A and B are shown apart, each in its own frame.
Chain A
């Protein structure tokens, strides 16, 4: 009996932890989400040369969120040109939509017309994924684990990571895909029954990130497969991942 009191005390101290409306939280601190680039004229070459991953494009100035590692170097040097908003809903199914151009203030959206028909009808209420860490540095992986914790609790939407690819509806890849993991990625993908999704999680998976161009990578898998969702971030915040998936798999009320 006394032992039970202890546990009740812990539960009470612990309180309710889950985020009731997963689409609504405001993130604290200088979180870097979708950038907004003003139309101010600046030295574009100087700006672009600051970027460690070549994510900044010129004429018009743009930031490719698939390459951006959110170091903020550009916004420190040109604060009135580039601002990172706290908008964490930055996942999309169209690679080009990750490129934010100067003057753009609209959110990054999923293109409904490009979602395969079977995705919403089959996976709308239950999506089981096999995660493949392909040279991921353990931040992307840790945030995916956090998606299932008591705070973000994506299990309530029927989204889970499972151990066997045979039981899954798709794969989520983290990391820039090393040569040494490239065969395992293909084998694992082949083991998932059709129809199946491919989701790229994090800047490293989408573009190679800071490792892009390294001779130790082999990203050929991505050249021969269509990607269903890009989830940018270094690492992506759990809210970016969960909201991105929900946007992809849930039917919109017309």
Chain B
């Protein structure tokens, strides 16, 4: 433990907890800058959120750094008067992972970050500070050569997927650099949290941030609301939610393996993994009526308790799935024609991923031991310890595929353990809380981290003196990980782009909000 200092630079809080705004240290920027850089020197620390929100005449900046070793979160802040010049020295030139946070703050509020090496728009939010900047006029990197060429793809892609623009700078077939331009999906989600203020509206909104992660994002949202509302939920509900999260992981991982087989033109794998996804999401429908788990997560309770009958069909589903998955995945990972397309392709190093602040799968496939289920477990993951897949280091397409295989196997075992725990609990699952019975802690900040199937989801809220939410912040893991895809493409043949893109399967709408 560090010694208590004369002036406290940061406060230590836990995941899914609330702190009074007045207890968050407000530092002078020079001190904030030095403190953040000092904290970020440790490999076990990474920044989970850094953002600004306005009040009358002031811009407040909140920064949360998760400590994987101490299993807690360091919170610190600074502020700028809007009458002052909105100019700050960039942290990015010292800590690359801050690029996305600073760019977002610059875009939303017109703050100029001096020495920011990559001062580019993030998503062209509708209420951005500079309306002169428009999405069709993005400042792409240019090449000054007659021998090199550019390839532009998107925003509409060949397949049935979300929109984004990819600009490749190429030397013949080889990609020198890939620049990814996002923002096409921007729906103003964070503002909608304030405009639509009923509990069910906010819950439904959470389900549609990235609907392929409905359980993940809504669990993070519920974590914020339950912490602010002081609602204690029983173990049974925690376990049910955790099962929901792991089922979502299995469903998305198996779908990704199918898509990767399509990328390899391996029909058998594509069909079998695709067909295995069907019973997975159909189980979700059996449980809560929706194949994407919409409706499953509600603040304070659930409309769909996991009944003994449902538990029985869950166990049956897992047994059936496991056998079919094993034969197909063994086949895929011993097939030379598949392996030659994924081994040593799109490789990124541990250092690169550390520098960009990669989270979730993008971290674990490249040798970074980062998993919130272990480092900052929510109650469900604390009730039954989760032992993450930390032994993959190669950072190539193979590692990203293998990580999914291993995580699917792990999740099956893990859910079986949770089922056993659930059967020992006799209490009932509570009903969701009603709008009227929820009163939020006033003048507070709350943060909720959840390891979704892609990685770290971070939701945080600031409440007013009247206990109303006055600012809501969402961070999808893709915010960090898009840079990993760009790095994977360097010096790679452009024809390897699709398999790399599928191997990350990042969220466009989660990034664009």
A residues near B, CB below 8 A? 6-7, 9-11, 13-14, 17, 27-32, 50, 52-53, 69-73, 76, 130-146, 149-151, 161, 163, 175-176, 178-181, 183-184, 188, 204, 209-211, 213-217, 234-235, 237
A125 to B200, CA, bound (A): 43
Q: Are B188 and A214 in contact (CB under 8 A)?
A: yes
Which A residues lie within 8 Å of B156 (CB)? Answer: 130, 132-133, 184, 188
Apart from the given pairs A6-B331, A142-B292, A149-B275, 6 other A-B contacts in the complex at a CB distance below 8 Å: A7-B268, A10-B272, A73-B200, A133-B160, A138-B507, A188-B156
**11 A-B residue pairs with CB within 8 Å:** A13-B324, A31-B289, A50-B200, A131-B160, A133-B185, A149-B275, A176-B187, A180-B183, A214-B192, A216-B186, A235-B211
Interface residue count for B (Cβ, 8 Å)? 67
Distance in angstroms from B232 CB to nearest chain A CB is: 22
Q: Are B274 and A150 in contact (CB under 8 A)?
A: yes
Q: Are B327 and A29 in contact (CB under 8 A)?
A: no
Distance in angstroms from B129 CB to nearest chain A CB is: 15
Given the known A-B contacts A10-B331, A28-B285, A144-B160, are A210 and B196 also in contact in the complex, defined by CB atoms under 8 Å? yes
Closest A residue, CB atoms, query B201: A52
Distance in angstroms from A29 CB to nearest chain B CB is: 4
B residues near A, CB below 8 A? 124-127, 135-136, 155-156, 158-163, 183-189, 191-192, 195-196, 198, 200-201, 203-205, 208-212, 214, 255, 268, 271-272, 274-275, 277-278, 282, 285-292, 294-295, 303-304, 323-324, 327-328, 331, 507-509, 512
- Among candidates A6, A53, A184, A211, residue contacting B184 with C-beta atoms closer than 8 Å: A184
Closest B residue, CB atoms, query A215: B126
Given the known A-B contacts A10-B327, A28-B286, A215-B126, are A135 and B198 also in contact in the complex, defined by CB atoms under 8 Å? no
Q: Are A183 and B136 in contact (CB under 8 A)?
A: yes
Q: Are B324 and A209 in contact (CB under 8 A)?
A: no
Which A residues lie within 8 Å of B331 (CB)? Answer: 6-7, 10
Which B residues lie within 8 Å of A235 (CB)? Answer: 211, 291-292
Q: Are A161 and B186 in contact (CB under 8 A)?
A: no
Q: Are A178 and B184 in contact (CB under 8 A)?
A: yes
Given the known A-B contacts A10-B268, A13-B327, A29-B286, are A136 and B509 also in contact in the complex, defined by CB atoms under 8 Å? yes
A234 to B327, CA, bound (A): 34
Given the known A-B contacts A52-B198, A135-B184, A135-B186, are A13 and B163 also in contact in the complex, defined by CB atoms under 8 Å? no
A17 to B124, CA, bound (A): 44
Which A residues lie within 8 Å of B292 (CB)? Answer: 139, 142, 235
Q: Are A217 and B187 in contact (CB under 8 A)?
A: yes
Given the known A-B contacts A183-B136, A214-B191, are A137 and B204 also in contact in the complex, defined by CB atoms under 8 Å? no
A179 to B327, CA, bound (A): 46
Q: Are B288 and A29 in contact (CB under 8 A)?
A: yes
Q: Are B268 and A17 in contact (CB under 8 A)?
A: no
Which A residues lie within 8 Å of B198 (CB)? Answer: 52
A137 to B476, CA, bound (A): 13
Distance in angstroms from A186 CB to nearest chain B CB is: 12
Which A residues lie within 8 Å of B183 (CB)? Answer: 180
Q: Are B185 and A70 in contact (CB under 8 A)?
A: no
A140 to B185, CA, bound (A): 14
Q: Are A30 and B126 in contact (CB under 8 A)?
A: no
Which A residues lie within 8 Å of B512 (CB)? Answer: 135, 178, 180
